[in-house]
Amino acid sequence: MKKKLYIVAFLLPLLLMLAMPVVAADDFKIEESIYYIVVDRFNNGDSTNDLDVDRSNPIAYHGGDIQGIIGQLDYIKDMGFTSLLLSPVFESNSNTFYPYHVTDRQEINKHFGTKDDLKQLVKEAHEKDMKIILDLGINSNEGPLDGELVQTALSWVQETDIDGYKVDLTEGTSPNYISTLSTELKSQKENLILIGESAGLDNLSEYEAAGLDSVFNPTPYEGITSFSVPDQPFNNVESIWDRNQEFENTNSLINYMDYTDTVRFTYLATEANEHPAPRIKSALTYLYTTPGIPIVFYGTEIALNGSEPPDNLGLMDFRTDQELVEYITLLSKIRSGVPALTKGSVELVKNDAGLLVFKREFEGQIAFVAINNTTKTQSFTLTTDLVGEDKELTGLITEDLIRPTDGEFPVVVNRDISEVFVVRDTTKINYTLFFAVFIVPVLMIGFIYLNKKRNGRPKPE
């Protein structure tokens, strides 16, 4: 996988120069990728705040804190994430770790650290070009919200320079309230991100119009979980994409495969006696290549298991296999380098018992995504009507190169493998082979020459 990362890093800019027009970055938010952290369950960086810690009790504190997140910023950054969304960090009922029992939003939960810790987290995240988004921790028992919450939210922006909030859309958070909250916050920080979450999509377009930059999109979840078992068609894929059209910018919707109120994707796979890693890769590929902003729940990258809450909120382990970490890193590089995957239209090509193929297109750039979530090698054919004349397909995951034969592109995808193909003009040059056969030897010769020159000694007289 590391070899693939290096090859993609080298080839992707070159391929894109050949395959696409110059595109303005009109809306940076749709290019975000978010890593969601339940603070108590992520990483313990400060043992002095280990109050009431009992790791044998699933509802007790386990010791994670803000300093623990600071210590793992490089880990998160290296996977390609641009934003961190934190579970509520405010003071709450100390009888349980559950972060939605907020009692005082003007204070940081003593189990998680201090206001200075939060300031340090924001400062160090910004130095790495990452954003920090806080969950306001609103729950359905709070009733109508008032101006005090607006002022409290505003004060945290002023004092710590955080980059946004997640707001639960309950009866108390009407569109008018969201409009007030958005106006006040963005008067302080123009590019602040405001995310909404609701149990369903009903009337969420009204909240979008009121000032939300993005909303959680639960609609694709059922389809994404179908990847947990091989040889199953993706459920209602086209109707999901059609329903997303209710929103002004479908590419700004937030999609997920694991979350606080769901069983772990790993649990679904293991319950079906499936090895979770291949299934997770299929789901992640869909998450990173379909319209919307991907949000990855902490622990998904280590195949963390767990059934109903709180069993799904297990403790993070940084000493596990890195296979999925490297795969997320690769997907992040591909997604950030192919605008069609973040801004493009989407068209279904094939959805047949575990083989899902779709087309993304944006301002002349075309990409095809093939997800083989089956137990066998699959083949299919793309025509010039879909791909275009005098074109070829370059794979960014398996590095495959496909040229047409009699106007058709025969595509073969191995079992449990996904591929992202970028369409480019036919060049008759295999860049991977060119690099290996020509560039590498030239560099080696140059290195040998410089080394001899550096170490050469004058001949004796």
Please compute, for residue 55, the number of CA atoms within 13 A of its CA located in the half-sphere on the CB side: 12
What does each C-alpha distance from 249 to 213, 245, 246, 335, 423 come to in angstroms?
A: 9, 8, 9, 18, 25
Given a contact cutoff of 8 angstroms between Cβ atoms, the answer to whether 322 and 277 are in contact is no
pLDDT for the residue 236: 80
> Which helix (DSSP H) or strand (DSSP E) does residue 153 occupy?
helix 147-160
Question: Alpha-carbon distance 403 to 389, whole Å?
Answer: 11
Query: What is the three-class DSSP state of 48?
Result: helix
Q: Which of 310, 418, 256 is nearest to 54 (CA)?
A: 310
* Plot region of 125 (φ>0 → left; ψ -120 to 50 → alpha; else → beta): alpha
pLDDT for the residue 19: 44
Contacts of 370 (CB under 8 A, 6+ apart): 355, 356, 357, 380, 411, 413, 418, 419, 421
> Which helix (DSSP H) or strand (DSSP E) does residue 125 occupy?
helix 115-127
Q: How many other C-beta atoms lie within 10 A of the C-beta of residue 144? A: 10
The tens place of each residue's pLDDT in the chain, 461 residues long, gives 665 555 555 555 555 544 443 333 334 478 899 999 999 999 999 999 999 899 999 999 999 999 999 999 999 999 999 999 999 999 998 788 888 889 999 999 999 999 999 999 999 999 999 999 999 998 768 666 788 999 999 999 999 999 999 999 887 788 999 999 999 999 999 999 999 998 665 677 788 889 999 999 888 898 899 999 999 888 788 888 887 777 777 888 999 999 999 999 999 999 999 999 999 999 999 999 999 999 999 999 999 999 999 999 999 999 988 999 999 999 999 999 999 999 999 999 999 989 999 999 999 999 999 999 999 999 999 999 999 999 999 999 998 999 999 889 999 999 999 999 999 998 765 556 556 666 666 667 766 766 666 666 555 44
What does each C-alpha distance from 389 to 50, 340, 376 come to in angstroms?
A: 64, 19, 31
356, β-bridge pairs: 351, 371
pLDDT for the residue 311: 96
**Predicted structure pTM score:** 0.87
Q: Which of 200, 204, 225 is nearest to 213 (CA)?
A: 204
pLDDT for the residue 219: 85
Structure tokens at 209: 């119009």
Contacts of 122 (CB under 8 A, 6+ apart): 132, 160, 161, 162, 163
Q: Which of 246, 231, 315, 311 is nearest to 279 (CA)?
A: 231
The number of helix segments (H) and strand segments (E) in the chain equals: 16, 18
pLDDT for the residue 22: 36
61 burial level (CB within 10 Å; 0-12, 13-18, 19+): buried
Tell me which residue has tokens 């149990």: 199
What does each C-alpha distance from 284 to 211, 411, 417, 437 come to in angstroms?
A: 29, 21, 12, 33
Supply the DSSP symbol for 438. I
Tell me which residue has tokens 């339940």: 38
pLDDT for the residue 21: 39
Contacts of 98 (CB under 8 A, 6+ apart): 59, 92, 310
Tell me which residue has tokens 């999509």: 201
H-type helices in 245-362, by residue range? 265-271, 276-289, 323-337, 340-343
Contacts of 62 (CB under 8 A, 6+ apart): 40, 41, 44, 53, 54, 55, 97, 315
Question: Alpha-carbon distance 266 to 274, whole Å?
Answer: 9
